[in-house]
């Protein structure tokens, strides 16, 4: 398979690239010229890298001409919810318009179309009521952030281009996923980095937190990308699939587990008001029954192992960085 991964230098993109190479795929990766390539440096000599900006139509067309993919996993975009509150227009433009440009370039190239995996988010479900749990693909979408609105737009654009033009778009709604190489702005990774910094004596023994009461459905990123790979093979074009564990972890539980793995003697936990979101759903967890029926996928890595690996990742990375 000739696979094109947009956003290959990111957290998920780098893990998907590893998996695809292991499966024997010829992997092309699209990224902007200023992208940090740290996540893929260990496999870069096995990748075909293309500089592209999805906001530039001509750049997108050149990307497709160079890669001529049989399948595309679209991961590029603005992926941090709090940023979308400060930059809503940029988030919508990057995510929605970037995907329009990709799908239009595919349409203009003509058949045979590549299979396209449009990667959405559980954030699309937004204001989930207790009666909606566990969340299925039929749960109403009530997005609560500009980021979530942009992902709904991407989701529905995938459906529209399948129905109108026959482009085989498969849609995925991934719930929270974590693991090594996760960006430090995300809650679990931020906790792990703070703990690793304290262990190295680079930070006072105070860990800053936001809302610890929220409960979320977490899966290891390596399981998530395996689900994406299976959907490329067996997913039904036009359909949407949840990828999730079916269990809700309280942020407090995650913090407690990470602290239990620390070699630091005592760490004070202190709430930081700047880390609180304007809106937050108390509980969110989903059902993966649909993807399980189609592909047999289910998470295999215990989340406790995910958290251990994430903490070890930060310990190793910080040791390589100047103090």
Q: Decide: 78 and 91 in contact? Cβ < 8 Å.
A: yes
* C-alpha–C-alpha distance, residues 115 and 314, integer Å: 36
Class for the domain spanning 2-177+219-243 = alpha beta
| CATH level 3 topology of 180-216+247-285+301-320 | UDP-galactose 4-epimerase; domain 1 (3.90.25)
Q: Decide: 218 and 178 in contact? Cβ < 8 Å.
A: yes
- Domain spans in the chain, listed from the N-terminal domain onward: 2-177+219-243, 180-216+247-285+301-320
State residue 281's pLDDT score. 81
Same fold, 2-177+219-243 and 180-216+247-285+301-320: no
Hey, what's the torsion of the CAs at 183, 185, 191, 195, to 10 degrees? 70
Q: Decide: 171 and 240 in contact? Cβ < 8 Å.
A: yes
Number of H helices, E strands in the chain: 11, 13
Contacts for 249 with CB less than 8 Å, ≥ 6 apart: 215, 216, 217, 218, 303
* C-alpha–C-alpha distance, residues 177 and 67, integer Å: 28
* pLDDT confidence tier of residue 321, bands split at 50, 70 and 90: confident
| Percentage with pLDDT > 90 across the chain | 93
pTM for the structure as a whole: 0.96
State residue 265's pLDDT score. 83
Residue 279 has pLDDT above 60, yes or no: no
pLDDT tens digits for 213-258?
999 999 999 999 999 999 999 999 999 999 999 999 999 999 999 9
Residue 277 has pLDDT above 90, yes or no: no
Q: Find the mean pLDDT for residues 78-93.
A: 94
- Closest by CA to 54, choosing from 35, 27, 80, is 35
Q: Residue 58 burial (CB < 10 Å; 0-12/13-18/19+)?
A: exposed
């Amino acid at each position: 398979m000739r696979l094109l991964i947009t956003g290959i230098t990111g957290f998920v993109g780098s893990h998907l690239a590893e998996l695809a190479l292991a499966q024997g795929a010829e992997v092309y990766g699209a990224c902007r010229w200023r992208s940090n390539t740290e996540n893929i440096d260990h496999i870069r000599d096995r990748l075909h890298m293309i500089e592209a900006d999805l906001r530039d139509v001509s750049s997108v067309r050149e990307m497709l001409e160079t890669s001529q993919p049989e399948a595309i996993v679209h991961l590029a975009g603005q992926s941090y919810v709090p940023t979308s509150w400060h930059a809503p227009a940029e988030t919508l433009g990057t995510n929605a318009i970037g995907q329009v440009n990709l799908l239009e370039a595919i349409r203009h190239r003509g058949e045979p179309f590549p299979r396209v995996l449009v990667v959405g988010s559980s954030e699309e479900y937004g204001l989930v009521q207790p009666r909606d749990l566990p969340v299925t693909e039929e749960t109403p979408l009530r997005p609560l952030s500009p980021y979530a609105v942009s992902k709904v737009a991407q989701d529905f654009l995938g459906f529209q281009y399948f129905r109108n033009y026959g482009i085989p778009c498969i849609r995925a709604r991934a719930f929270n996923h974590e693991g090594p190489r996760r960006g430090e702005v995300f809650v679990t990774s931020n906790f792990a980095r703070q703990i690793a910094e304290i262990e190295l004596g680079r930070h006072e023994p105070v860990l800053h937190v936001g809302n610890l009461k929220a409960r979320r459905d977490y899966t290891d990123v390596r399981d998530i990308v395996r689900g994406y790979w299976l959907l490329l093979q067996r997913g039904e074009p036009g359909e949407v699939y949840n990828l999730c564990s079916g269990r809700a972890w309280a942020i407090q539980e995650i913090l407690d587990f990470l602290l239990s793995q620390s070699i630091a003697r005592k760490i004070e936990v202190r709430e930081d008001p700047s880390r609180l979101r304007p809106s937050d759903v108390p509980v969110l967890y989903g059902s993966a029954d649909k993807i399980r029926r189609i592909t047999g996928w289910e998470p295999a890595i215990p989340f406790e192992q995910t958290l251990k690996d994430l903490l070890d990742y930060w310990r190793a990375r910080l040791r390589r960085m100047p103090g």
